[in-house]
Structure 1
Amino acid sequence: MPLTGHCLCKAVTYTADVDAPLVTGYDHCDDCQRQTGSTYSLVAVVPKDKLTINGPVKTWTGTAASGNKVDRLFCSECGSPIAHDPSAAPEIIVLKAGTLDTEIKKNLKPDTEIWTAGKLPFCQEHLAKPFKFMPE
């Protein structure tokens, strides 16, 4: 069953032709905190060649704390973040898991934390596979 989702206004929809994400986790980097306005971003990593996005997407390219470029995709209508596309890992794309369809995101089981170097001190939960930066 593919992973499907959409932005807040439903102008952007997507389908990832996979049964499950490669990785589901919490991204604590400062950029994700700022983009989501929260303490971290729940992310679902999928192969880039398995993802189809439809609708009015804008891209903003920034430089991550690692020094690598990251394209951040968002709906040009409502501004919902859809994904980020790290140049350091061209074979994958990182979906903002909050945009997955409700029944899909209810069944997610985060198992990884990345960029724990940016984890805010009051976030106490620890998962089995934390990485101080991106997986080494």
Structure 2
Amino acid sequence: MDRRLADLDMSSIIFPSDKVTIADLRKLRPYAFDHGFDGVDNIQPVFFLEPLKSGQSMDTLGDLLFLERCAVAVAYARAEGIAPPDCEFIDMRELLKEKYVRLKLSSGILEAEELVRDLESQAARLSQAKGR
């Protein structure tokens, strides 16, 4: 792996997922936050407290955060003219767009495409800024 990828600092990137709130997650998966509570076997929010059992946090947020960062790293690598990280795969962008629509971060697939392009543009600007 190229050192430039290992040193990539994404803290200045504005990710669409930054807008996801607990209220959004509760609407999307109410059973993982609000349905049932006996204090022993049935606790809430399962989304966070039982992530392996429910798979909620990984399927909803974990995948989204990974895909966004992968998209940034791939775009950054392209801007730097180096090999992209191993996270790039054929349908990565499609999966990311579907996540944006499902989480209501976009009103549809076209707006989701704009969000992905914006991430890629931000990554390219990171490369340009570093080169100054």
Q: TM-score, normalised by structure 2?
A: 0.25
More strand by percentage: 1
Question: In terms of Rg, which structure is larger?
Answer: 2
More helix by percentage: 2
